[in-house]
Amino acid sequence: MLPGNMMDRPLTVPSILDFAAEIHGDARVISARVEGDVHRYSYADAHKRVSRLAHALRQLGIKDGDRVATLAWNGYRHFELYYAISGIGAVCHTINPRLFEDQILYIVSHAEDRILFLETSFLPQVEKLADRLPTDLRYVVMCAAEDLPETALDVLAFEDLLKGQLDTIIWPDLDERQASALCYTSGTTGNPKGVLYSHRSTLIHTMGLLAVGQSIGLSPERSLLPVVPLFHVNAWGLPFAAPLVGTDFILPGARLDGAGLFAFMDEEKVNTSWGVPTVWFGLLAEMRKHGRKPEGFECVLVGGSAAPKPMIEEFEKDFGVTVVQAWGMSEMSPVGSVNSFYARQRALPEDDRMELKTSQGRRAFGVDFKIVDGDGGRLPHDGVAFGELLVRGGAVMSAYYNDETATASAFDEEGWLKTGDVARIDPEGFLFLVDRTKDVIKSGGEWISSIDLESAALAHPDVAECAVIAVPHPKWVERPLLIAVLEGGANVTTEELKAFLGDRVAKWWLPDDVVFVDALPHTATGKLSKMALREQFSDYTLPGI
């Protein structure tokens, strides 16, 4: 090998904020606070507060590799913790407050957290868990001393930590391969599993996002609001990508319902927003109520689960908001593909363009895809063959954190990560999710995509949300059951809905029954919980059996 004659400078997280403060110093971070007001400052201001916070963490005894946990909404203090913790060589461990109590207890213990930073709104939750949390865990409430609620816990106030600290810092020399952040999966089966990100993987992932940045709202001329929480897989990489490119970063705090989002986005003239489909159902309902979109709203990125075609069409045709789908998972940092359209795709006939919009897009820079059959053999990327999707890349996990059992079953013999998704890939590289391996319906030896069937049902104007699960059948092994939530006041019968679907899917795909419910269960990250539905309908018997 002939080595290149180039400097070997590490790729590290704090270098992003250093760059943002110098080059994009006047770009803004705007946050809806738990205190009820809106906080505004620049990346240059953020850098000063992050420096103070980093010095304070060192004074609290935080060392290289120590895990520092957060239990917080999308706000400026949470953003500051991202950089201050990883900047001194510690690990920023974001905890999802919507997890079950036992899961939170397991996560804190498994991660061996030293400090827990928490919002005032989560203080009652932590007080309830305190006697089961580690006795040496320290607590910092993310507020000023005068806003600190009464509590029996021994706590510090966030703003007190910053007093008297220097607002400049020379970051320690960090190895780019050392850990920077930790996020646990939601743990739908067994205990949650930890994904430990490195500085290097974070920078590689960020660069992959910026390769398609203009099409997904990452631009110095735009503002971007992440509805996807900072407590889940680094808010899909936005706390790093937005500052690096100089995008105004708009943080909604706890304002995640349709009405709250609409009002905040309208007030701040947000251009782009990222989140899961369940969030966008709520925002669309509010947009219908107002008869318009929030002022300035141009683009919505949908991830977490597939965006139904009717949702895409309503955003684009009724409100002029461009929809971009993306796909990924916690184990991938998380973005693996983005459905960015360029001149050729935009020039397609409308029906073809809308059909392509249902794709999860093409792989991001630094990510490789393959699809395999049941024996692990590679399948062609011909747009027809489908099988389990596997991935590899510089921002893809190599092992679960301190979990050999989970790691052993997560990879194939070539070292590719098994995603659990069933997909097809067309000759141009567009990825189409067919289903999750555990959700696909195997009927009479053929596969039925629950995703496609749900999308067809959502085209009905009176269906607000729906899910399709497999139920046992004596002849066909499994058949689809459609579970639907109707729009308020709507009255639709099973036969009417099945007749509607008859023009949209193959006859043998038609659900054997439809059950109407008031609401569907969701996971801690906002995804539809089919595991909960399968448990709920475990004793269900199809008509005529």
Q: Could you state, in order of their start, the residue ranges of all structural domains in the chain?
A: 14-204+230-245, 255-437, 441-536
| pLDDT, position 38 | 98
User: Distances from the Cα of 325 to the Cαs of 259, 275, 300, 339, 487, in angstroms?
Assistant: 23, 10, 8, 5, 25
Note whether 124 and 100 are within 8 A (CB). no
Residue closest to 271 by CA, chosen among 229, 226, 207: 226
Q: Give the H or E element holding residue 129.
A: helix 123-129
CA-based R_g, the chain, Å: 24
Helix (H, G, I), strand (E, B) or coil at 63: coil
Please report the pLDDT score of residue 212 as a whole number: 93
pLDDT of residue 324: 97
The answer to whether the beta carbons of residues 153 and 120 sit under 8 Å apart is no
DSSP secondary structure code for residue 149 in this structure: P
Evaluate whether 14-204+230-245 and 255-437 have a shared fold: yes
pLDDT at residue 188, rounded to an integer: 54
Going from the C-alpha of 178 to that of each of 58, 86, 93, 230, 434, the distances in angstroms are 18, 10, 14, 21, 36
Q: What pLDDT does residue 380 have?
A: 98
Structure token pair of residue 97: 């407050």
Q: Measured at the alpha carbon of residue 366, what is the angle toward residues 365 and 370, in degrees to the nearest 5? A: 100
pTM for this prediction: 0.87
Handedness of CA 260, 262, 265, 269 (dihedral sign): negative
* CATH 3.40.50.12780 for domain 14-204+230-245: yes
Nearest to residue 44, comparing CAs of 12, 22, 16? 22
Strand order across the beta sheet in which 463-473 lies: 463-473, 477-486, 513-516
Q: d(Cα 495, Cα 502) in Å, to the nearest integer?
A: 10
CA distances from 331 to 96, 193, 232, 392, 395 (A): 16, 10, 12, 10, 8
The two tokens of residue 323 are 């929809």
326 touches 233 (CB < 8 A) = no
Give the residue numbers annotated as catalytic, written as ranges: 185, 331, 442, 447
The string of DSSP letters for 367-416 reads EEEEEE-TTS-B---SSS--EEEEEEETTS-SS-TT-HHHHHTTB-TTSP
Rounded Cα–Cα distance for residues 280 and 363 (Å): 24
3-state secondary structure 463-488: EEEEEEEEEEECCCEEEEEEEEEECC
CA neighbor of 118 nearest in space, from 152, 94, 99: 94
Q: Report the distance separating Cα 418 and Cα 436, nearest Å.
A: 11
**Contact (CB, 8 A) for 370 and 378:** yes
Measure Cα distances from 59 to 52, 89, 156, 222, 256 in Å.
11, 14, 13, 38, 35
Pick the CATH number of 255-437 from 3.90.1150.10, 3.40.50.12780, 3.30.70.20, 3.30.420.590: 3.40.50.12780
- pLDDT tens digits, the chain, 545 residues: what are they? 999 999 999 999 999 999 999 999 999 999 999 999 999 999 999 999 999 999 999 999 999 999 999 999 999 999 999 999 999 999 999 999 988 899 999 999 999 999 999 999 999 999 999 999 999 999 999 999 999 999 999 999 999 999 999 999 999 999 999 999 999 987 555 789 999 999 999 999 999 999 999 899 999 999 999 999 999 999 999 999 999 999 999 999 998 899 999 999 999 999 999 998 889 989 999 999 999 999 999 999 999 888 888 899 999 999 999 999 999 999 999 999 999 998 999 999 999 999 999 999 999 999 999 999 989 999 999 999 989 999 999 999 999 999 999 999 999 999 999 999 999 999 999 999 987 878 888 787 677 888 889 989 999 999 999 999 999 998 888 899 999 999 988 899 999 999 999 988 888 889 999 999 999 998 877 788 888 999 999 889 999 88
φ and ψ at residue 111, rounded to 5 degrees: -75, -20
Residue 359 neighbours by CB under 8 Å, 6+ apart: 325, 339, 426, 430, 431, 432
Q: Under CATH, which number does the domain 441-536 receive?
A: 3.30.300.30
CA distance 371 to 493: 39
Q: What are phi and psi of 406, to 5 degrees?
A: -65, -40
117: tokens are: 């930073």
- For the purposes of burial, counting CB atoms within 10 Å of the CB of 260, is it exposed (0-12), middle (13-18) or buried (19 or more)? middle
Report which DSSP code applies to 432. E
